[in-house]
Structure formats: C-alpha cells, structure tokens
C-alpha cells in the first residue's frame, strides 16, 4: 500500500474501530438511514409544491436534478470505472453495525447525494448553511463509522455532489438570464 492508502486506512480504522460504541452505532445508523433522512426533505418538497408557487416548483426541480445528477455520476461513471472494493469487504475486523455492502465504494453515493442536496438548499436558505454542513458531515462520517466507505470515498462523494449541485445552480442561472433577455 502507498503512504496515501495507509493514511486512508488509518483514518478509517480510527473512526470505525476507535470510536466504536453502542451509542454511536445507533446515532450513525440514524444518519445513514435513507427513509429517516428523506422525511424532512419530502415534507419540504411537498410544502414548496403546495405553497411555494412557481419559485417553489423550480426549486424542487433544481433539487431533484442536482441529486439525480450526483447519483448518475457516482453510479454510472465513477464506481464502475474505479471499482474500489469497500473496506468492510477488503479489510479484516471492520465494525459493521448495519451489515456489509458488496457494491463498489468510490465515490460514496450517500455523500454525493447529500452534498448535492445540501448545496442547493444552501443557495436557497443561506442562513441554515451550518445546519446543512453539519448534516452532510454526519452522513459522511456515518458511512465511515458503519464500515462501508473509506474517508477518501466520502471526500470523493462530497466532491461529486458539490460538482452536481453547482452545475445545476449554474445551468439554472444561465437559463434565468436567457429568459430575461427574451
């Protein structure tokens, strides 16, 4: 292993093993539980669709496009190309409170999706940026703690999500300018 890989595995072991305890098992499982994470997002989306008017509908479209783009970039481009084995499969003695996943690990899909969504939410609701950042970090840490991603998987996922969310924001800004000119 290279020095870089050794650092990645060392940080992984520190979070996954050294932090291991029954309370963190539950807390980090909660931050990786998709149905739990989707409840507030679905409520926000429904509220925006009902009460947000045209701006609410456009924001929901922007959010869906950013998350979908992050998912597609992760699942269709990077994971098959890089084909990195998850730490829970590649390493011995990994703490896996929620079980073992065998699909490829780089970049972390949950990190990509949450980063894309949180970036778009931050553009819309900047006064809550610290809450969005906290949630993204907790989701990323949860994936390492639960043994399914290396730290670099999570950082790669964040990069993909920021790229996807930023691209969607940029495209919407350009379209808005073009509509104003017409």
For residue 49, is the peptide bond before it cis, meaning its omega torsion is within 30 degrees of 0? no
**What tens digit of pLDDT does each residue of 15-49 get?**
999 999 999 999 999 898 877 777 888 888 888 88
Tell me which of 74 and 101 has the higher pLDDT.
74
pLDDT of 38: 77
Ordered domains of the chain (ranges, CATH):
3-181 (1.20.144)
Q: Which residues contact 74 (CB under 8 A, 6 or more apart)?
A: 107, 108, 109, 112, 113, 157, 160
Please say whether the beta carbons of 24 and 31 come within 8 A.
no
Sole residue written with tokens 């008017």: 53
**3-12, 49-58, 133-142: range with lowest mean pLDDT:** 49-58
Mean pLDDT of the chain: 93
CA-closest candidate to residue 136, choices 112, 120, 160, 152: 112
Model confidence, pTM: 0.91
- End-to-end Cα, the chain, rounded Å: 57
> Cα separation of 26 and 37, whole Å?
14
Give the mean model confidence (pLDDT) for residues 44-66: 89
Please say whether the beta carbons of 32 and 142 come within 8 A.
yes
Tell me which of 160 and 55 has the higher pLDDT.
160
> Cα separation of 175 and 182, whole Å?
11
Tokens of 2: 């290279």
Percent of the chain's residues with pLDDT above 70: 99
CA-closest candidate to residue 15, choices 152, 158, 147, 153: 147
What is the torsional sign of CA 137, 138, 139, 140? positive
**What tens digit of pLDDT does each residue of 66-100 get?**
999 999 999 999 999 999 999 999 999 999 999 89
């Amino acid at each position: 292993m290279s020095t870089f890989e050794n650092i990645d595995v060392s940080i992984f072991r520190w979070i996954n093993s050294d932090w291991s305890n029954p309370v963190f098992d539950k807390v980090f499982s909660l931050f990786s539980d998709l149905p739990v994470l989707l409840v507030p997002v679905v409520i926000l989306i429904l509220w925006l669709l009902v009460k947000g008017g045209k701006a609410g509908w456009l924001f929901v479209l922007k959010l869906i496009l950013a998350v979908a783009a992050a998912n597609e970039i992760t699942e269709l481009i990077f994971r098959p190309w890089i084909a990195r084995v998850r730490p829970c499969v590649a390493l011995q003695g990994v703490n896996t409170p929620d079980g073992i996943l065998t699909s490829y690990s780089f970049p972390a899909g949950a990190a990509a999706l949450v980063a894309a969504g949180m970036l778009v939410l931050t553009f819309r609701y900047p006064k809550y940026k610290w809450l969005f950042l906290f949630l993204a970090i907790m989701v990323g840490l949860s994936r390492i703690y639960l043994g399914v991603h290396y730290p670099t998987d999570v950082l790669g996922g964040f990069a993909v999500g920021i790229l996807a969310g930023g691209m969607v924001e940029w495209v919407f800004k350009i379209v808005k300018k073009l509509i104003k000119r017409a």
